[in-house]
Structure 1
Amino acid sequence: MNLILKLLGTGASILSGIVAAKVIDFIWTKATGNEPPKDAEGSLENSLRSAVVFAVVSGAVSSVIRVLTNRGTQRAIQRYQKTPEIV
């Protein structure tokens, strides 16, 4: 059962990461009026400042999501180990 909970935690982390990326892109577009600076090839239209800010915000959000999903998975595993017959 621990393996199933870990797989569900990994799936939740991936899904929440995808959703968060879409939300960050949407908020960035609405706040700045420009597309997020993601293109690594040949696009010099984006300033270094906007690229760095976008990278910092994206990294911070992904770190928070990873920590929260790991904690949720660990909590679920501990709950299951205490009462496996109820779950």
Structure 2
Amino acid sequence: MNLILKLLSTGVSIGAGIVSAKLLDFLWTRITGNEPPRDNDGVLDVNLRTAVVFAVVSGAVSQAIRVLTTRGTQRAIQRYQKTPEVV
């Protein structure tokens, strides 16, 4: 059962990462009115300040998602270990 919980934890983390990336792209477009900075065939068409701000925001969001999913899965594992027959 421990393997199943680890796989579930990995799946939740990946899913949350994908959802947060899509949400960040959507919010960036809504707030700034521009598409998020992307490297298109080696050409980055934004200024350095915009690219750095996007990188910092993206990194902060990804770390927050990582911490939240790790804490959530750890709580779920602890809850399961206390009452495995109920789950």
| TM-score in terms of structure 2 length | 0.92
- Residue deviations 1:24-60, cap 9 Å, x none? 10111111111101216122x2010100000001100
Where do 4+ consecutive residues of structure 1 move more than 6 Å?
Answer: none
Unaligned runs of 5+ in 1: none
Residue correspondence of structure 1 range 26-37 to structure 2 within 5 A: 26-37=26-37
Distance 2:30 2:69 in 1: 28
Cα deviation for residue 5 of structure 1 reads 1.2
Q: Return the letter of the residue paired with 1:13.
A: S
Identity %: 73
Distance in 2 (CA, whole Å) between partners of 1:37 and 1:12 is 26
Alignment of 1:60-71 (within 5 A): 60-71=60-71
Q: Which residue of 1 aligns with 2:55?
A: 55
Q: TM-score, length-normalised on structure 1? A: 0.92
Count of residues in correspondence between the two structures? 86
Structure number with greater CO (CA < 8 Å, separation at least 6) is: 1
- Partner in structure 2 of residue 7 of structure 1: 7
Distance 1:72 1:3 in 2: 17
